[in-house]
Amino acid sequence: MEFTALLLHLLPVILLAIFSPSAAFVPTDNYLLNCGSTSNATLDNRVFAADSAFLAADRSTPLANKNPPPSSPELYATARVFTSASGYKLNIRQNGTHLVRLHFSPFPSPNFNLSAAKFTLLLNGNSVLRDFSTEALVIKEYVFGIDGEELEIVLRPAGGGSNFGFVNAIEVFSAPKDLIIDRGARIVSPNAIGEFDGMSSRILETIHRINVGGSKVTPFNDTLWRTWVPDEGFLVLKPAAKKVVSTHPPNYQPGGATRETAPDHVYMTAQSMNRGNAILGAKFNISWNFPVGSSGVQHLVRLHFCDIVSTGLNLLYFNVYLNDLEAYKDMDLSSLTFHELGSPMYVDFVADSDDLGKMRVSVGPSDLSTSTHVNAILNGVEIMKMVNLAASGSVSSEKKKRRTWIIVGSILGGGFGLLLLAGLMVLLACRCRKKKQMKNPRSRRTESSAWTTLRGVQGSSRSRMTELTITGSPAGNGYHNLRIPFAEVQSATNNFDKNLIIGMGGFGMVYKGVLKDANIKVAVKRGVPGHRQGLPEFQTEITVLSRIRHRHLVSLVGYCEEQSEMILVYEYMENGPLKSHLYGQGQATLTWKQRLEICIGAARGIHYLHTGFIPGIIHRDIKSTNILLDENHEAKVADFGLSRAGPCLDETHVSTGVKGSFGYLDPEYFRRQQLTDKSDVYSFGVVMLEVLCARPAIDPLLAREQVNLAEWALQWKQSGRLDQIIDPKLRGQIKHRSLEKFVETAEKCLAEYGVDRPSMGDVLWNLEYALQVQESGSLREDSSANGDPVMVVVGNGDRSEENCSSEASTALVFSQLVTNEGR
Ligand SMILES: *[C@@H]1O[C@H](CO)[C@@H](O)[C@H](O)[C@H]1NC(C)=O
Ligand SMILES: *[C@@H]1O[C@H](CO)[C@@H](O)[C@H](O)[C@H]1NC(C)=O
Ligand SMILES: *[C@@H]1O[C@H](CO)[C@@H](O)[C@H](O)[C@H]1NC(C)=O
Ligand SMILES: *[C@@H]1O[C@H](CO)[C@@H](O)[C@H](O)[C@H]1NC(C)=O
Ligand SMILES: *[C@@H]1O[C@H](CO)[C@@H](O)[C@H](O)[C@H]1NC(C)=O
């Protein structure tokens, strides 16, 4: 398990080392059928074998072309004809996404005029191609999530007795696990926002696959044997675009795109703005029109990017539009690719084709770009039509819908985070509102009246969210009790005395203060007056924190929203962020025991967020600056909803949330844009390594292979050199078994895929074990593998499903463990 996780983590590195495209991916299921033939035929280095063993019934006719054109591949010299509905049955060994390709290449034959064939194609009963006929070679590709043991391919002749179907060749193979993600594609539509859910139950038909700025890529040069065609024919205004070609192979990174996502050739070429063109002016879009054949139909549009134009980081900002709707604003590839240039990534969108049956893709400069770096790029496009309706009542999608997550914080900052948040809030609020209105139709009005000054802010989606957020909160909750008059905040902070500033963030300044009435120390976070930018986060924080009280979560003392001010008042944490105790200056060194206790405290806080109530809460910005220590060095998790603005207390770089969270971002979240509680688990794993090694998650000053703590530590762990990177101040202090458990847990938190990561409850349990072993002399130092069988629990996502596992039950299990061990 461990080794696999590690291997997966390192896979891209290994792939880079091998640098052999075709060696990279071996599908579990792999059927290549040479239809109507009894011998093998080879195409693009692949052997297609005789098809007869896979026929569903013996009601078909093999055909051979007596005079095949010399240039035509041998594979297309035979075909199989079906005069009644019939076809093939293939055993499927691996559930999940499969690629299904059918090759149709009609040829003359005495009994059947293949050009006149007309038939419907069904995949496991779903009709994906209706009344199809062709007079020239056509290859149809379907991306199909199979979750049974069989794939049935049926060709059903169209009505009118004499009809028949035919096929020359079939490919069916399992796709890499992440090729299609179930949730996370951004919906681009005037009527809807949020993420698309249930992609893996859709059958997708590939309509276009484009190598933008490059030449044709044949199946020979693609690990999934795809064909990528050049984009020029689709450019709306050719002079607007300028080709760019990189001479370096793409810098594939964990969490980004892989060679299976798209081949090197796609990421090494792009179109960029042809800024030399005087007629076009300084700012313009590059647009492509892709005919898709049907109007108003949902498509998955996957856009591939790789910054091969910039000379430095964070210089390129551009917008993406689909059918003239804003799809992605201010895209910053540097931030999205963990601060690397030339690093491939992709974004999935779901959009409808327009009335003319087109999909128009545009990229253009963002307002954030400086005048010398105005540019926009695109490396690749895939457009896939959704050919079936969602499978209704499918178990997996229902399971997912049952849990609605409140999403707090905003690592990616801006647009997407807010969209996501808004979408979920709307969903959540609708539910609660229904219930509440039945019970007490007046409660809603009363509550929202307290917010009149906050409503009616720019943008309809925001103001709608404002209202819904509030109505979505539990009735009878004491928001009002938490209001603090502005005068009191002024007095608490000596009228925002500069000398009391203890931190700053995009949201504004953080002051230390004392509430005179209660005589309690507080931290006061003040939004830039008059700026309404952080409004949704501000409200989220209040909504969330007013509902939560936990020993390991920083509590909200109150808030103030008078005179266009947005102020949040928190309990003051005497010892500041964990980070400054690990590698800050002038702080006493934390002992191993203290470090374990801090980790346990933080883990408890996060565990409570995840499981303490329904819906669970994903923090989204777990890092050592967001774990604060009180006067007793007890850890509390902070910053729920202002991560973009957060109290980056001692942080020097404050501009965006992404920067603040580098090195902590779950690669799967980044890749799938699908948020789960396991993203927090990943970030927590990074914090654990920080605690152990006493260095930042990202240290750009170090040698390249050491910059990213998670990667570096796992590599050293693997090569058995872990003791060399442990904080020297801990030397000789840590008991072997305690260290082992700690590292093993951190490693599991950092698993490439969320499902392989432990739940926060499991993490907590393991940390307590590590502390117990450290503390207790009675436990064996070197327990053999079968000596502690109870511990082999981590590593399965299932536990989070039954999320009722509260701290109490965790503690129970733990005490059982202790008794077992003590025997
Ligand atoms: C066809 O190819 C398969 C697998 O590549 C091979 O095992 C088989 O021997 C070949 N058959 C013939 C007739 O060449
Ligand atoms: C075969 O069918 C096509 C399409 O219907 C037709 O154009 C063509 O003339 C036919 N060829 C023969 C030899 O009948
Ligand atoms: C695939 O999914 C089907 C139906 O969900 C299930 O019965 C089967 O056991 C699964 N097979 C594998 C190998 O997971
Ligand atoms: C594969 O890519 C290489 C390198 O670009 C190129 O030289 C070769 O012609 C390509 N082969 C095919 C079959 O496309
Ligand atoms: C790019 O296209 C979008 C959508 O049509 C449009 O709103 C925007 O103004 C265009 N940008 C430029 C610079 O022309």
Distance 78 CA to ligand 2 centre (A): 19
* Tokens 């035509």 sit on residue: 72
Closest CA to 521 of 645, 651, 631: 631
CA 95 to ligand 3 center in whole angstroms: 6
Residue 39 CB less than 6 A away from ligand 4: no
The residues lining ligand 5, judged by C-beta closer than 6 Å to any ligand atom, are 283-285, 321, 324, 362, 364
Of the candidates 98, 176, 169, 184, the one whose C-alpha atom is nearest the C-alpha of residue 138 is 169
**Residues involved in catalysis:** 621
**Closest atom of ligand 3 relative to the 395 alpha carbon:** 5
Any idea which ligand is nearest the CA of 106? Answer: 2
Helix and strand totals (H; E) in the chain = 20, 36
Other CB atoms within 10 A of residue 208 CB: 21
| CATH no. of 581-780 | 1.10.510.10
Q: Considering only CA atoms, which residue is closest to atom 4 of ligand 4?
A: 221
User: Which ligand number lies closest to the CA of residue 163?
Assistant: 2
Q: Which atom of ligand 1 is nearest to the CA of 39?
A: 13
- Could you identify the atom of ligand 4 that is nearest to the CA of residue 265? 5
Which atom of ligand 1 is found nearest the CA of 47? 5
Verify whether ligand 4 is closer than 6 Å to residue 227 (CB atom). Answer: no
- pLDDT value at residue 690: 94
115 in contact with ligand 2, CB cutoff 6 A: yes
Is the alpha carbon torsion for 284, 288, 293, 294 positive or negative? negative
Q: What is the per-residue pLDDT for 615?
A: 61
Distance CA 170, CA 729 (A): 63
Which of 115, 118, 133, 162 gets mutated to test ligand 2 (max ligand atoms within 8 A of its CB)?
115
* 30-174 and 183-404 have identical folds: yes
Ligand 3 pocket at CB < 6 A: 95, 147-148
- Check residue 613 and give its pLDDT: 60
Atom 1 of ligand 1, nearest CA residue: 40
Q: Whose CA is nearest to atom 4 of ligand 5?
A: 324
Tell me the CA–centroid distance for residue 283 and ligand 5, in Å: 9
Domain residue ranges in the chain? 30-174, 183-404, 469-572, 581-780
Ligand 5 geometric centre to CA of 212 (Å):
20
- Ligand in nearest proximity to the CA of 150: 3
Contacts (Cβ under 8 Å, ≥6 apart) of 790: 816, 817, 820, 821
- Cα–Cα distance measured from residue 225 to residue 206, given in angstroms and rounded to the nearest whole number: 13
**Average pLDDT, 10 consecutive residues per value, the chain (823 residues):** 40 38 75 96 94 89 92 95 94 95 94 92 92 94 92 89 89 93 87 83 95 96 95 93 94 85 96 86 92 91 96 91 93 82 93 92 92 92 85 33 34 34 36 35 28 23 24 33 84 89 74 84 81 64 71 85 81 89 81 95 89 71 90 87 33 30 74 76 95 89 86 88 87 90 94 91 91 72 38 32 33 31 30
Tell me 705's DSSP state: G
Please state the atom number of ligand 3 nearest to the C-alpha of residue 95: 1
Closest residue by CA, ligand 1 atom 14: 40
- Which burial class, exposed, middle or buried, applies to 482 when counting CB atoms under 10 A from its CB (0-12, 13-18, 19+)? middle
Q: Which residues line ligand 1 (CB under 6 A)?
A: 39-40, 47, 49
Residue numbering of the annotated binding site: 525
Measured in Å, residue 92 CA sits from the centre of ligand 3 at: 10
Q: Which ligand is nearest to the CA of 216?
A: 4
* Residue numbering of the annotated binding site for ATP: 525
221 CA distance to ligand 4 centroid (A)? 6
Ligand 2 pocket check for 113: Cβ under 6 Å:
yes
Please check whether residue 744 is in contact with residue 792, taking contact to mean a CB–CB distance below 8 angstroms.
no
What is d(CA 706, CA 698) in angstroms, rounded to the nearest whole number?
A: 9
Q: What is the pLDDT of residue 420?
A: 35
Structure tokens at 542: 């209040």
Which H or E run contains 469? helix 460-471
Nearest CA to ligand 5 atom 10: 285
The residue written with tokens 């947005």 in the block is 566
Indicate the pairing of strand 406-407 with strand 318-322. Answer: unpaired
In CATH terms, the fold of domain 183-404 is Jelly Rolls (2.60.120)
| Cα separations in angstroms, 228 against 176, 216, 381, 528 | 18, 6, 9, 49
Q: Using CA positions, which residue lies closest to atom 14 of ligand 2?
A: 113
| Residue ranges in 496-577 assigned as alpha helix (H) | 535-547
**CA dist 481 → 449, 476, 523, 557 (Å):** 15, 11, 18, 10
Q: Kindly give the distance from the C-alpha atom of residue 440 to the centroid of ligand 3, in angstroms, as a whole number.
A: 46
Please check whether the domain covering 469-572 is classified as CATH 3.30.70.270: no
Fold of domain 30-174? Jelly Rolls (2.60.120)
